[in-house]
Structure 1
Amino acid sequence: MEANEQLIYTASPVGLLAIHGTAEYISAVSFTDEKKAEPTPDAPPLLHACALQLQEYFEKKRQVFDLPIQQPGTTFQQTVWHYLTTIPYGETITYLALAKRIGNVKSIRAVGTTNGRNQLAIVVPCHRVIGANGVLTGYAGGLWRKQWLLDHEKGGRLF
């Protein structure tokens, strides 16, 4: 967490979520099994707005997040993360399809690595990217969470 960033936690059906950010942007949404730091007293309203939008997502009242976000990364990483936000709610694509969308089919491994470095779980929906033939592959929050999120968006089991 950067020096000027603040932190709150919010409960969710997939466990406790840590929300990091400032008054201007959200920098991370991550899964955690326990509070690893004390929440910031009087955290900026934006962090609470993020928690509310996540709650709306879990209640199936929100499909798109409307938050200013910022995470450090290369131009390539920023491009991949941008394209993740264009994957519609309830849909999945493969790593290969994502590499094709960014215009470089040979970047499939780099796309996968960048997907795994996404610090904005759920908000930047890296869970919507799957392996070839619909296989679930690595997810920082654990494959059970990835499956849960995909099922939640589809309204039933995918696989």
Structure 2
Amino acid sequence: MAWFEGYVPRVMRWHARLAPAHCDVRPFLLENKIPTFSCAMARTGLLRRISLQTPVPRWLDWWVWAQLAALAPFAFVPEKLTRWRLHPKSWHHKVEIFSYLKEFRRMGRGFRRLFASDLTRRGQWGALAFLLLPATIRLAARLALTAREDGLVRALRRISGRLDVSRSIRKL
């Protein structure tokens, strides 16, 4: 899957540059920086402090990781310790573009509810302003990040490979 082959190495490069990361939710507001539940560990006490009421059920991992990043530093282990099985019925297989945009919008609103007061208290106005932007602009920022790492053509190919365009066209 082209999306997987681009996303995972890119976020792993991001992790490799950190050693260990301080408590910072800001990178997680743009995208999920931890690819799957099977590759992370967290203390039970931290998990008890977070909300599992995600606005988008298939992005529960992103919801959890963002909250944990705001609470505690984390470290990256570069060895492959798990395998991620992707299959045609996976939530991460093909995504219909309009539902993806709607879910991305809901996720942004959820993050805004969770983190607005903390970002304000910390004076992280840029992150707060980012959450106030429309979902389309936040997605464009995410595309820019991907294009910076992989090149624009490759990034667009990977994204288009993930989208179920035929279902999107039928909705029009």
**Bucket of the pairwise TM-score, normalised by the shorter protein:** 0.3 to 0.5
Task: Return the TM-score normalized by structure 1.
Answer: 0.32
Give 1 or 2: higher strand fraction: 1
More relative contact order, 1 or 2 (CA 8 Å, 6+ apart)? 2
Task: Return the TM-score normalized by structure 2.
Answer: 0.30
Give 1 or 2: higher helix fraction: 2
